[in-house]
Amino acid sequence: MLWRIRATVEDRPGFLSVLTASLALRQVNILSVQVHTTESGAVDDFLIDAPDTLTHDDLAEAVRRGRGRDPWIAPAHVRGLIDEPTRVLSLATKVLDGTQGLEEALSALLGDCDISWRAETSTGAGGFTATGMQLRDPAGGTLYVGRAEPSFTPAEYARAQALVELARVASRHTAS
């Protein structure tokens, strides 16, 4: 069964290998991994194929035994097998050619999240928290992106900002 696992580990040599060894002991095959650097450590994001007999709790225990903290685990879909750069470029293409709107593309980029729009453009502190992002909508106003789990990472915020900037550039070219 395919699962997505996200956990924080100390950002020191060997800690990722301890976590992957703990998963390997349970016959888990790691299909992809992304490492997001944060202030609290390295957030490792895995797409795995696990034996059908392993449960959510079994995987959480494997993460904890592998020195991972704050595990977030959810079933994954086969579309997760598309490598991240290809997936992001595909979303960018859809925004550019108009087959997908910015909000829809952001939702696809960030996974299960809620997006709302407000007319104000001066929102105070910009940026992101563990559960939310504020992004200036190229059409005006502000997009608020929220997600309870997993926590947003600096890399996800940077990707979202880059997609918004792409939409901003595309709208300028369309208006010309």
In angstroms, the CA 57 to CA 164 distance is 37
Token pair recorded at residue 154? 């600096």
What is the value of pTM for the model shown? 0.79
CA pair distance 9, 63, nearest whole angstrom: 10
Give the CATH number for residue 74.
Answer: 3.30.70.260
Nearest of 25, 131, 5, 123 to residue 69 by alpha carbon: 5
CB-CB neighbours of 58 under 10 Å: 15
Q: Does residue 100 share a domain with residue 169?
A: yes
Domain that holds residue 53: 2-81
% of the chain surpassing 90 pLDDT: 78
56 & 37 share domain: yes
And the tokens for 42? 């390295």
Mean pLDDT, the chain, whole residue set: 91
Specify the pLDDT at position 126.
Answer: 63
Sheet of 127-128, strands arranged across: 114-118, 142-146, 132-136, 127-128
Q: Are 72 and 91 contained in the same domain?
A: no
Of 55, 81, 107, the domain-final residue: 81
Domain-ending residue, one of 62, 81, 100 = 81
Same domain for 89 and 171: yes
Q: What is the Cα–Cα distance from 26 to 138, expressed in whole angstroms?
A: 47
131 and 73 in one domain?
no
The whole-number average pLDDT for the span 17-32 is 97
Same domain for 114 and 147?
A: yes
Residue carrying the six token digits 């997006």: 115
CA atoms within 13 A on the CB side of 84: 14
Asked if 117 and 155 sit in the same domain, the reply is yes
130, 52: one domain = no
DSSP 28: P
* Same-domain check for residues 101 and 115: yes
pLDDT, one tens digit per residue, over 69-123 is 999 999 998 876 778 888 899 999 999 999 999 999 999 999 889 999 988 765 5
The pLDDT, as a whole number, for residue 176 is 63
- Domain boundary (19, 46, 81) is at 81
